[in-house]
Amino acid sequence: MLPYPQIDPVALDLKWIKIHWYGLMYLVGIGGAWLLASRRLNRFDPTWSREKLSDLVFWLSMGVIVGGRLGYVLFYDLHAYLANPTLILEVWKGGMSFHGGFIGVMLAALWFGKRNNKSFFELMDFVAPLVPIGLGAGRIGNFINAELWGKATDVPWAMVFPPFSDPAQLPRHPSQLYQFALEGVALFLILWLYSRKPRPTMAVSGMFALFYGIFRFIVEFVRVPDAQLGYIAFGWLTMGQLLCVPMIVGGIFLIWWAYNRKPTVKAAV
């Protein structure tokens, strides 16, 4: 087995406020996305200023945070949050849904695009290669929090997570690191390299939806489902997999549509 590093989830305790690693990972994701977006800004729209890019990143970040939290509430534990609504504000304890954040980003992009004369898919194609930075950072945050670990296993890289997280103290798949490698590193490389050449509108968005859906669907087979939900069907289907099905189907459709309609080929973003 590999030893779990036992990192304190609190990065900095100032007595009057505690700064958690999980929250810092959001700053890493947002800051990294802004830096990379600024490098590609001229190819996306030479008329855009850094201030407008900052506005875009801000509103998309709000979509991630608000959508991610509400998505977790609606998809994963609605009963508990209805019983105690104040729990919704305790974001430092985790409880964020990628799929909810994805919906939040789409709504924010739709709103921002209408205000700035950009189509929904123009913005989504520009943003898609940046998203894996935040996804990868978020999975590191999950790992530090010792949450969302995998099923018991005897693989050489299994880990025993702290007793407060896993009372059973079983060697488990470090599924957070699998997701970091796939949703963060691999997805970033796929999208970054693919988007370097001119692609028809919607193609980059389709690639994001397709590969994220595939990667997440695969990892869910070795990840323990949320205790309050368990398996949705068949003794193996999780909520995460169920929510990935429309992403995979939608991604395939967008790629097909992008290359089979009469697209306007745009510069790489």
How are beta strands 199-200 and 265-266 bridged, if at all?
Answer: antiparallel
Please give the structure tokens belonging to residue 20.
Answer: 């958690």
Contact 175, 248 (CB under 8 A): no
Helix (H, G, I), strand (E, B) or coil at 20: strand
Q: How far is CA 64 from the centre of its chain?
A: 9
Supply the pTM of this predicted model: 0.89
Q: How far apart are CA 209 and CA 248, in angstroms?
A: 6
For the stretch 75-128, pLDDT in tens is: 887 777 777 777 777 765 667 788 999 999 999 999 999 999 999 999 999 999
Strands (E), the chain: 10-13, 18-20, 159-160, 171-172, 199-200, 265-266
Average pLDDT for 36-60: 92
- H, E, C per residue of 99-150: HHHHHHHHHHHHHHHHHCCCCHHHHHHHHHHHHHHHHHHHHHHHHHCCCCCE
Residues annotated in a binding site: 139
Neighbours of 100 (CB within 10 A): 24
State the chain's mean pLDDT as an integer: 90
CA distances from 30 to 26, 87, 128 (A): 6, 24, 13
In contact, 10 and 18? CB cutoff 8 Å: yes
pLDDT at 267: 46
Instruction: Provide the pLDDT for residue 88.
Output: 76
CA contacts within 13 A on the Cβ side of 33: 29
Distance CA 47, CA 45 (A): 5
Q: Evaluate if residue 258 carries a pLDDT over 70.
A: yes
Tell me the CA distances in angstroms from 182 to 81, 186, 189, 215, one per residue in order. 31, 5, 10, 6
CA–chain centroid gap for 190, Å, is 15
Cα–Cα dist 158/210, whole Å:
29
Which tens digits make up the pLDDT trace of 140-168? 999 999 999 999 999 999 999 999 899 99
Q: Which pLDDT score, from 0 to 100, does residue 75 have?
A: 84
Confidence band of 74 (pLDDT split at 50, 70, 90): confident
The rounded distance, in Å, linking the Cα atoms of 66 and 101 is 7
Look-up: residue for tokens 């900095």? 12
Domain ranges of the chain: 122-258
Predicted confidence at residue 16, as pLDDT, reads 82
Question: How far is 252 from 245, CA to CA, in rounded Å?
Answer: 11
Burial per residue of 108-121, b for 16 or more beta-carbon CB atoms within 10 angstroms, e otherwise: bbeebbeeeebebb
- Name the 3-class secondary structure at 66: helix
Q: Which helix (H) or strand (E) holds 80?
A: helix 78-83
